[in-house]
Amino acid sequence: MFSFEVRERDLLGRIGRLETKSGRVETPLFLPVINPAKQVVPAADMKRLFGCDALITNAYILKKHSEDGPAKNGLHKFLDYDGTVMTDSGAYQILAYGQVESTPEEIIQYQEMIDTDIATILDIPTGWEISKEYADHTVSETLNRAKSLEALKTRQDIAWVGPVQGGRYLDLVSCSAREMAKLPFQIHALGSPTSVMEQYLFSLLLDMVLTAKIQLPPDRPFHLFGAGHPFMFSFAIALGCDLFDSAAYSIYAREDRYMTEYGTLRTSVLRYLPCSCPVCSNNSLKELLDMPKVDREESLTKHNLYVCFSEMKRIKQAISEGRLWEYLEMRAHGHPSLLQALKLLRKYDDYLEKNSPITKRSGIFFFSSVGLSRPEVVRHRKRLFDRYSDPSRRTTLVLLPPSQMEFYRKRREYRNLYEEIGLRVNGEISKIDICLYAAPFGITPVELHDVYPLSQCVAVYPPDDETVDYIKDQVVEYIGMQNYERIVVLYHANTWEEEMTKACDEAMSARGIYCKVIRMERGLNKNLLTNLASAISGID
């Protein structure tokens, strides 16, 4: 009754098809938290107003406060909702109050009784300000409860969630995920991330999510508990999170807080309604603020839901286009902590590159050195230095600046350059290697230039200082791998290219390799070709 199929991918993000006994839904998926005791927007309106195909509610709260309604009639009828329903187990209440008035066995039995679609074991959340000894206890006890599930459950049509604990202790997170991966869960989740997200510790969240993901089976969806603010959706999805849940949309509305894709504003500071959802289109700011408290709360709840669901659609579109990195980089500039976390993604370069698509439907945009961690750049670096070998022993390297990249996009012009140089160096063209140096890939042999995405890239020029340093390092490292006897570097004056030529000249001088630097004035004209031929021949 359960299946998960990945349809499209970008970075670690994926558009998937998840099927439960109540139907099929598409991931990434935002599940609004439904509190039957106080729900401003009824579950029945979630699908009608927002196209919400799945939601989450708390089995422990239902068991404690809803008498036998859900058990007698079934959870879907009780909520008046025919989509996919996930139930949490009461672990958050353990985190908040220290204990719950139920046992793991009772919670398993109750979730089966109410006919939920996706159920969660009653795990022990690690929390935040706790010792490593207690964190280790939460991992061990959660694992023990997870192992007992198979003997306790009686139904096979419910998907079960296996939570990963460990909190900020990454070695425990890794251990927890590794052991959970051995058990027959259909879905996994990261436990105890709420405090991390509330404090904007996105660098730690990055480590927690990827530490778990590396150990878990890639064919199982990954749920991030409590991630309900749209400004961080793209970040979490890029790390491989497929499911999200939160009650923030309702809590914020109760506190007169207005969600946007980049943060949250209190209604008291609003001067406009910067949104085109039905709530904001059909009401002026004054009308919204003048509403009775209960009506304003309902309107803000609906607005916040519209923002959450709209952001999910934008991210899916970015994945489909192969532009999730660009979208993520744009969103990351909305908060310093998010941008810092994106920069630290370089720690996981190899894992990200290994699990990202090799080709896409579109080219890429490169904005700054932050993009040096994107999989396409990392993949080019790895493959150039690990796999590429010159088909023949070429003794001379000609390095051309980025402004000449267009020159090589047509085979005829590319052939003409070889012919022009060949005529001037007595037919020794087979010994000449031509490479381009540019952001973001550093150095590219012309033979590889048409390989995706080397010529399907638009970069900001001039590049920032960190990117210039990266280009210099790549050029020097590439030259060090070859056996060139002579290097000729072309550059434009008064640009960052001068720094590259100086670094190249110094590195080659230290190795005793002849290096000639030629300044370009008007492109590859006849005079320049003559000077280039002389330099290749070793004539100063």
Residue 203: per-residue pLDDT: 95
Please report which confidence band the pLDDT of residue 527 belongs to, taking 50, 70 and 90 as the band edges: confident
Percent of the chain predicted with pLDDT > 70:
92
Q: Which among 10, 53, 88, 123 is annotated as catalytic?
A: 88
CA distances from residue 351 to 133, 218, 240, 524 in whole angstroms, order as listed: 30, 12, 12, 41
Predicted TM-score of the model (pTM): 0.92
For residues 221 and 2, is the Cβ–Cβ distance under 8 A? no
CA dihedral 80, 83, 84, 87 (to 10 degrees): -20
Residue 95: per-residue pLDDT: 73
Alpha-carbon gap, residue 99 to 58, rounded angstroms:
15
CA distances from residue 85 to 59, 117, 118, 441, 505 in whole angstroms, order as listed: 11, 5, 6, 46, 65
Residue 410: per-residue pLDDT: 45
User: 169: which DSSP letter?
Assistant: -
Mean pLDDT of 313-317: 97
For residues 370 and 343, is the Cβ–Cβ distance under 8 A? yes
Residue 36: per-residue pLDDT: 78
Residue 103: per-residue pLDDT: 92
H/E run at residue 34: strand 29-34
Residue 523 clears pLDDT 90, i.e. is over it: no
pLDDT tens digit sequence for 56-109: 999 999 988 887 889 888 999 999 999 999 999 888 787 766 778 889 999 999
Mean pLDDT of 301-325: 97
Residue 409: per-residue pLDDT: 46
Mean pLDDT of 2-26: 96
CA distances from residue 3 to 158, 188, 214, 237, 333 in whole angstroms, order as listed: 11, 14, 21, 20, 36
Residue 414: per-residue pLDDT: 46
For residues 332 and 340, is the Cβ–Cβ distance under 8 A? no
Alpha-carbon gap, residue 485 to 142, rounded angstroms:
63
Residue 362: per-residue pLDDT: 87
For residues 481 and 397, is the Cβ–Cβ distance under 8 A? no
Number of C-beta neighbours around residue 150 at 10 A: 10
Alpha-carbon gap, residue 273 to 256, rounded angstroms:
13
- Buried/exposed code over 259-272 (b: 16+ C-beta within 10 A; e: otherwise): bbbeebbebeeeee
Residue 509: per-residue pLDDT: 84
Name the residue with higher pLDDT: 210 or 522. Answer: 210
Structure tokens at 357: 């698509």
Rounded to a whole number of angstroms, the distance between the first and last alpha carbons of the chain is 76
Percent of the chain predicted with pLDDT > 90:
64
Tell me if residue 88 is catalytic.
yes
Can you list the domains of the chain with their CATH numbers?
3-351 (3.20.20.105), 364-537 (3.40.50.10630)
Name the residue with higher pLDDT: 433 or 167. Answer: 167
Half-sphere exposure of 190 toward its Cβ, with a 13 Å CA cutoff?
35
pLDDT tens digit sequence for 135-191: 999 999 999 999 999 999 999 999 999 999 999 999 999 999 999 999 999 999 998
pLDDT tens digit sequence for 461-477: 889 999 999 999 999 99
